[in-house]
Structure 1
Amino acid sequence: MGRPRGFDEVAVVQAAAELFGSRTYDGISIDELVTHLGVHRNSLYKTFGSKRGLYMAALRWSLDHKIAPLVDHIRDARALTEVSPEVLNAPSVRPALDLLLLAAVERAPVDAEVADLLAQVFTGFDQAAEAAIRSNSSHEPQTHLAFAVTAALLGLHLRARSGAAEASVKQARTALVDQLTPQA
């Protein structure tokens, strides 16, 4: 009979998601993971199989527990104006969006499983944006506009991450929503 696991797997996955969202996958060594997560190297390998196994667990957790509720919030809005900027910029969501964007530019081009996961997430974002747009306009499909809105919202997050002033990002987000809202 093996020893019981001496760490909280969910807490380790959450901490790994934040770490992977702060730096590139290749920029984080196993030694850094072990130190940052407080997990013995053998335990890490036994539980997750590899650095990639931990990364995939962290990415899935982040997508399921942080990004999916954000997508649901957008989908449930009766209009884009109801998509709260505070939700898009919440401290609990920012690391998940960081991980999403890093995964998109770094891992998806070289890892088909990551690319497939992100394709599903981006499709969910697009469908949620389309639902919010449709509720405030004609019933015609707004697929291309929704794609552009998703790209713009994620791009604004990227701009904020790269040092743009928070006020500028907020004003740009408001301007985007205002342009998509029919005038009464």
Structure 2
Amino acid sequence: MARPRNFSEDEVLVQAAAIFARLGYDATSIDDLLAATGLQRGSLYKAFGSKRNLFEKVLAGALAPGWTSNPASIDLLIIALKELVPDDPPIAALCRRAVEEAGTDAARLLGARLLEHLD
């Protein structure tokens, strides 16, 4: 019989999103995620399967309707576009859908957020 989870998946996703947004996908290690979430390695892998799967869940949540008003969501989209989209069709599809839903605002939002990081 499997042990019940001793953590909130939603809270883990929030904590993981903060780490991915701060470090980027490539620079975030499993150890960074463990430290941020307080999970044990086995629990993280059992719940999410991999760092990539965890990022996909984080990104899907971040790109839910209304994402354009959340700077952290825009940051995660930028990270996905820069680091994962060229080699990851499911992540590319999430990004494409979000950008298409944002319409003409997408380029302005992404550009403005990139410029904010220069300050």
Q: How does 1:130-149 map to 2 (within 5 A)?
A: 146=104, 149=105
Contact 1:22 1:99 in 2 (8 A): no
Distance (whole Å) between structure 2 residues aligned to residue 15 and residue 160 of structure 1: 23
Consecutive unaligned residues in structure 1, runs of 5 or more: 72-87, 127-145, 164-184
Equivalence for 2:110 = 154
1:98 pairs with 75, 83, 87, which one?
A: 75
Runs (4+) of structure 1 exceeding 4 A deviation are: none
TM-score (norm. length: structure 1): 0.61
Q: CA deviation at 1:62?
A: 1.0
Q: How does 1:103-114 map to 2 (within 5 A)?
A: 103-114=80-91
Contact 1:18 1:96 in 2 (8 A): no
Q: CA deviation at 1:152?
A: 2.2
SS in 2 for 1:109: helix
CA change 1:7–1:70 in 2 (3 A) is closer
The count of corresponding residues between Structure 1 and Structure 2 is 119
The alignment status of 1:19 with 2:19, answered yes or no, reads yes
Query: Which has the greater radius of gyration?
Result: 1
| 1:106-135 CA distance string (max 9 Å, x none) | 111121111111111110011xxxxxxxxx
Consecutive unaligned residues in structure 2, runs of 5 or more: none
Equivalence for 1:43 = 43
| Identity over aligned pairs, percent | 37
RMSD: 1.3
The alignment status of 1:58 with 2:58, answered yes or no, reads yes
